[in-house]
Structure 1
Amino acid sequence: MTLFAVLLPLKDKDLSQTYRPDHLQFLEEQRKKGNVAANGKFTDGSGGLVIYRMPDKDSVEELVKKDPFVKQGAREYHIHEWEMVSEEWA
């Protein structure tokens, strides 16, 4: 499987707050299926990042469009194939 970094920049703060529980539930479901390797928010409030483990970019985009944040217009998305260099943290 290939790793993809999906940036989710904030588009609408109110919608983000409203759909945050649904977004987190969506990510948990995807984690259980093995599709999400990591996720988190940016501490400056500008959005978040999800690392997906999927076969190709088209599969990631299809899934990202089902994320409540994206589906409800709370966030934009940008998909980048990502190559992890090390699993060690500084």
Structure 2
Amino acid sequence: MVDSEMTRKRLHPKDLFTSQSPEARAWRAKQAEVDSEIEGLPRDPEAAALAAQMERDGVPDEEQIARLIAYFKMRSGNSSLE
């Protein structure tokens, strides 16, 4: 059984969009990758590594968001990103 199949069997499909379980969060992250590929958006390996490290370190969501916003502001040279 593939990981995504196991996740779907454990969680109601609607729960995948709202649950904060590790399985649901991983599923949403994978969907974001797929969506980006469909749209032809380039990957940012440094941002992905930063996000993965913060997740492993247990950084709270709000802090992860703030750090990623700061990272993208720094990368773009634009301090007005919100």
Taking structure 2 as the reference length, the TM-score comes to 0.35
More helix, by proportion:
2
Kindly indicate whether structure 1 or structure 2 has the higher relative contact order, using CA contacts under 8 Å at least 6 residues apart: 1
Is the radius of gyration larger for structure 1 or structure 2?
A: 2
More strand, by proportion:
1
